[in-house]
Copies of this chain bind each other. A is one copy, B any other.
Amino acid sequence: MADIPARTELKVTTGPIRGSRKVHVGPLNVAMREVVLEPSSGEPPLRVYDPSGPYTDPQARIDIMAGLPELRRDWIRARGDVEEVNQRELRPEDNGQLGPDRSGGVQPFPNVRRRVLRARAGANVSQMHYARRGIITPEMEYVATRENLGREMLAEYTRDGEDFGAAIPDYVTPEFVRDEVARGRAIIPNNINHPETEPMAIGRNFLVKINANIGNSAVASNVAAEVDKLVWAIRWGADTVMDLSTGRNIHDTREWILRNSPVPIGTVPIYQALEKVGGIAEELTWEIFRDTLIEQAEQGVDYFTIHAGVRLPYIPMTAKRVTGIVSRGGSIMAKWCLAHHKESFLYERFDEITEIMKAYDIAYSLGDGLRPGSIADANDEAQFAELYTLGELTKRAWAHDVQVMIEGPGHVPMHKIKANMDKQLEACGEAPFYTLGPLTTDIAPGYDHITSGIGAAMIGWYGTAMLCYVTPKEHLGLPDRDDVKVGVVTYKLAAHAADLAKGHPAAKMRDDALSRARFEFRWRDQFNLSLDPDTAEQYHDQTLPAEGAKTAHFCSMCGPKFCSMKITQEVRDFAAKQNAGVESFLASSPVPLAGGAGPVTSEEAEEGMAQMSRVYDKMGRELYLGSGGREHD
């Protein structure tokens, strides 16, 4: 990895992803990444969606102590519906400082705002509220430009996919974004107190997004680690990040993360509320929870996971499960409900929560506290009872023009995945679905990024709008920096596979560009177009470290006497020679023929061949081992 140290005390990875450059498009300077291809390709640079923010922009000055520039500041104030108020007083319990022990404190963020924004009395500052009044905000315009990457080059493109009833447009207009937000089919999570965000949309008719989870550790030095994980996760493609901090110093850690995050930040407020009552679920109260919502709203959290669907009557439905209740938030509320033998205060006070959400434009992520924690518990009555309640709550939130997405499972075998999507669409009126995996088997701890990547790609294809990543450490331990990257890249490929299958207009461009590079042995282009250029090049170099191997029009998988590419060139020349006359030659063909000559690929292979021939011999002709390179046959 090209870890260029940032010009700050706290170290994060900055600098462009190799082979790419940052570009800013349109009047709103929408950030994108451009992969520049070899001149020999004769192809224009390929633009890719880029959530990495200023950290990958060589022009940007990064200062973790100061935080990011406030991109949306003026947009928010220009609407004239917000007022500045003093931030709520910080209390020791906000950082879990309960007992006499005040050790392990986190250095406070140096640049905390004393004054924060909230909606004027009676105002509603949610993007959904503007959308429903027909207002196209700069946030919506930003999203439209961002989602359109590459589509203008697609004049001749023919759609190819199965979208299961989605409505993906050939071209995204600001009006389309407004309409999707107005009808609740997409959300733009961006708290007015988090003006550092680059607006993004989560919705089934936009590119499939992914979320990465991070969270605090209580010793000061580790705030650096969390900020570094944030920057690392978005570098590889995380579209939103959830701060699942617990223990102490939750407030201060979150401030560091928010001020340095260009992507929306989500939290589970009940975690912090629980810490405020010393971890005793029974002692939770509405007042403590409400105060925590306001604390986090003023800091700028963009979406809250609220487990308001865990209702008292559903709890006994989990008694016969193999893995009971595995959601922490769900368990907390279940325990509270049982202890007090009362309906959940999250459900009872839902409209009061909604009033807070709309004063800051925080989106709901309605939590699936009763999701299955094993294949055995998938699609059971507890899970679906909760889902239909989430649907009821969605409509109640929408009545206040508050944005909503719905969280989904979990552990689900492949044949039961689609039912989750279908029921969610029906129960929740097409509100965006946000799923964890699902894991398609329980038997591979250590590989759950893969067991879940399978389910994630499938449910993304069926219509899920955002996929929450799972790392290899799932069920076993705490993900480190490498786990975060593996989780993000795995989910990026799953989300992309879903976009491809849905027939997203721009998705296939990248596959085709990389495949052309692969076929023409433009190794650098192949690396640079991939989701992880560093790993691709590193793997390649383990076999052929020679610099020449990266430019030779030849690969490590074919000997000097043999080359698929060369043969295909012969096929093309042959087909060209045959021209129309090809038919006679095809007398025996039982099927119609494509025929004709395709675009002829660059043909200066000789020098590269000779060069590789030497490499090949030097390597003891070990060049067909295993399935390396060309697929086996």
Contacts and interface: CB of A to CB of B under 8 A. Distances in A.
A556 B479 CA distance: 12
A442 interface: yes
Given A621-B218, A632-B436, A543 B626 contact: no
Q: Looking at chain A, what size class is its interface with the partner chain?
A: 35 or more
B598 A559 contact: no
A70 interface: no
Contacts of A356: none
A445 B536 contact: yes
Contact of A325 (B316, B368, B567, B596): B567
Interface string A252-266: 000000000000000
Interface string A300-339: 0000010100011111111111111111111110110010
Nearest to A578: B316
Contacts of A536: 445-446, 476
B593 A316 contact: yes
Interface stretch (A118-126, A185-193, A511-519): A511-519
B633 A381 contact: no
B561 A278 contact: yes
A361 to B, nearest CB: 22
Contact of A279 (B368, B453, B468, B561): B561
Contact of A586 (B245, B313, B407): B313
B316 A628 contact: no
A410 interface: yes
Contact of A447 (B245, B332, B532): B532
A268 interface: yes
A603 to B, nearest CB: 13
B328 A443 contact: no
Nearest to A322: B515
A622 B477 contact: no
Given A324-B564, A324-B565, A514-B443, A271 B624 contact: yes
Given A414-B458, A536-B445, A621-B246, A559 B279 contact: yes
A457 interface: yes
Contacts of A515: 322-323, 373-376, 411, 442
Contacts of A453: 450, 453-454
Interface in A486-538: 487, 489-490, 492-494, 496-498, 500-503, 508, 510-512, 514-516, 518-519, 526-527, 529-532, 535-536, 538
A54 interface: no
Interface stretch (A13-21, A291-299, A569-577): A569-577
Contacts of A561: 278-280
Most buried by B among A389, A571, A627: A627
Contact of A518 (B442, B468, B595): B442
A79 interface: no
Interface string A453-468: 1100110010000001
Contact of A512 (B161, B375, B512): B375
Most buried by B among A274, A335, A441: A441
Contacts of A628: 471, 473-474, 476-479
A615 to B, nearest CB: 12
Nearest to A333: B567
A245 B632 CA distance: 11
A443 B530 contact: yes
A40 interface: no
Contacts of A510: 442-443
A130 interface: no
Contact of A457 (B414, B449, B530, B565): B414
Interface in A45-59: none
A141 to B, nearest CB: 28
Contacts of A171: none
Nearest 4 interchain pairs by C-beta: A324-B568, A477-B543, A279-B561, A313-B589
23 contacts: A217-B620, A219-B620, A268-B632, A281-B562, A305-B633, A313-B586, A314-B589, A318-B571, A319-B572, A324-B519, A324-B568, A329-B633, A375-B512, A388-B590, A446-B538, A446-B539, A447-B532, A447-B535, A453-B453, A473-B539, A473-B542, A474-B629, A476-B543
